Amino acid sequence: MSARLSNRRLRLLLVALAAVFALTIARAVWLQAVRGASLGRLAARQHHEVRLLPAGRGTILDRLGYPLAIGEEATTVYANPKQVRNPRAVALAAAATLGVNADTLYPQLVDRRRGFVYIARQADPRKAAAMMRRGLAGVEAYPEERRDYPQRSVAAQVLGYAGVDNRGLAGVELQDDPALTGTPGRQTIVKDPFGQAIDVISSTSVRNGHDVYLTLDHTIQAYAESVLRSTVRHWHAKDATAIVLDPTTGGILAMAVVPGFDANRYPGAPRERQRNRAVTDTYEPGSTFKLVTVAGALSARLVSASTPFTLPYSIQVADRVIHDAEPRPTETLTVGQILAHSSNVGAITLAELLGRQRLSDWISRFGFGRATGIDFPGESPGIVLPVDQWSGSTIGNVPIGQGIAVTPVQMAAAYAAIANGGVWLTPHLVDRVAGGGRPHVERRRVVSRGVAAQLVSMLENVVEEGGTGTLAALSGYTVAGKTGTAAKPDREGYSTTKYVASFVGMVPASKPRLVILVAVDEPHGQIFGGLVAAPAFKEIAKFALQYLEVPPDDAATLNSAGSDGASADASSSDASVSSTP
């Protein structure tokens, strides 16, 4: 090869090297001067990561501190597909240790467009630890909390549910989510080129949520649910509801709805079982509503408890004829007897004395037609027609609990006002929040103390011999209450086969400690509140009084076998209503 050709090749090589060097310098200048800031941020993101440290959700406890909803330790395992070196190995390992579907996980791991993929959410910590010991690149984990309801079905509709993100989705969990939810912490970590954490450079601490103490007593709650289950089975009923309320504080000791479900399986429970029907659903109350009519007439001083009325079996109201539940001759009944015998004709007669405007005012005064303000989401205000929309026959329907819809908690609160000397209190489920104050309880006088005492005395007669609620009588305790049997509305007016049987009472009547409501929806075999609901009231009351160590107030009946075995008067029915031709 000639020297000239050799020099030429050397010059070409030098030119090529110079060009490559120039391009390298230009690239370096461009990367540092033009792309420097963005590439710096990218590098920081690849080697620095901010992790959220989840806050523990507060515990929900009953009035005695028994846990009803708690947080359990769990671990969430995830992957960054951009850092996963062997997707197949990760998928197989996850299937072996965590029980996930490898065929479902694998396509997500090979998708490099993703920066985050859940492998297992809220996994068992031991299984998650086994997965992490495999040291697979791109796989990481963080501690999390999983909600657990140790009492399972007890108070399930009241407690509600906290979802996979530990946020309240229903019930008390939703209502008190701001208090139960804490503030998460943060950690800024440094990672090696393989994505493994090697240092923590900054952190802020976690603030856990506050514990919430309810007024519920889990023992009374569980017993009330048990009684309702037996009642529903015995009468082949559609469902049943019970409320146990302290009339002096407004605190609810039990709010039972049957059928129920396991709160740990809330998402899979039928929607109709998830509702807390004591707060969200309405029903026509029937004769239990006569308390409002009598209270209005007494308070307006139109009558006294002993005022007599000569009452026929039926009464004409506009285009309707309304009669009492059982055929009888024309007879004289006092106001007290009208309530004790649940006379529809008598209650309508008192309502006509009051007049539609004053009756409407008393309905509002007792809180019907608007929400009670109970600390529970989704409360229904009930259905009450304004007086300017009343028809001619409304004055005959509403006084006996037809043509009006109430919630069980509204009715329990109304009777609690009478038990509390005429003072209405906001019914509530939350007693206190740890680290905070107690909820505000509204108080307002509904009737005078004297009228309240008269009403309690009249309601005692309902349970005594000759009244409609004798099966609610309880040995050793005076009981005051009212039966109700209401036909359910249907397309034709009112059903002849579907009823709601109810009983609302207070005990001991001399100084009420408890107001208990029981409502049974669509019982079969019997429909009367005195036969279907009163025995359930008795069972719940007997247990709760003994459990709370409330002393007897009626020594005369302690050893009386007959008081517990009194027969019920089937006239606990509401109205039989028929239209005139």
Distance CA 248, CA 159 (A): 24
The two three-digit tokens of residue 490, written as one number = 């249907």
Q: What's the Rg (C-alpha) of the chain? A: 35
22 by DSSP, 3-state: which?
A: helix
Contact by Cβ (8 Å): 238, 527:
no
Give kind and range of the element (H or E) at residue 274: helix 271-274
Q: What residue has token string 């089937």?
A: 570
327 by DSSP, 3-state: which?
A: coil
Q: Amino acid identity of 70?
A: I
Contact by Cβ (8 Å): 475, 560:
yes
Q: Is 69 left (phi over 0), alpha (psi -120 to 50) or beta?
A: beta
Contact by Cβ (8 Å): 86, 78:
no
Q: What is the dihedral of CA 534, 538, 544, 545, to 10 degrees?
A: 130
Distance CA 223, CA 153 (A): 12
Q: 8: which residues sit within 8 A by CB, 6+ positions away?
A: none
- For the question of residue 205 being annotated catalytic, the response is no
Q: What is the dihedral of CA 534, 539, 544, 547, to 10 degrees?
A: 160
Q: What residue has token string 């393989």?
A: 194
Distances in Å between the Cα of 43 and the Cα atoms of 36, 39, 78, 542 are: 10, 6, 21, 72
Distance CA 430, CA 417 (A): 19
Q: 29-59 in b/e burial notation, b at 16+ Cβ within 10 A? A: eeeeeeeeeeeeeeeeeeeebebeebbbbbb
- How many helices (DSSP H) and strands (DSSP E) are in the chain? 21, 23
Q: 85: which residues sit within 8 A by CB, 6+ positions away?
A: 137, 138
Q: Are strands 239-245 and 252-258 parallel, antiparallel or unpaired?
A: antiparallel
Q: CA 431, 260, 538: angle at the middle one, nearest 5?
A: 70
Q: What residue has token string 């993929």?
A: 117
Contact by Cβ (8 Å): 391, 398:
no
Q: 113: which residues sit within 8 A by CB, 6+ positions away?
A: 81
Q: Amino acid identity of 158?
A: V
575 CA to centre of own chain = 32
Contact by Cβ (8 Å): 528, 485:
yes
Contact by Cβ (8 Å): 70, 114:
no
Contact by Cβ (8 Å): 222, 544:
no
The two three-digit tokens of residue 484, written as one number = 């109700």
Distance CA 329, CA 125 (A): 76
Per annotation, catalytic residue among 38, 226, 287, 573: 287
Cite the active site residues. 287
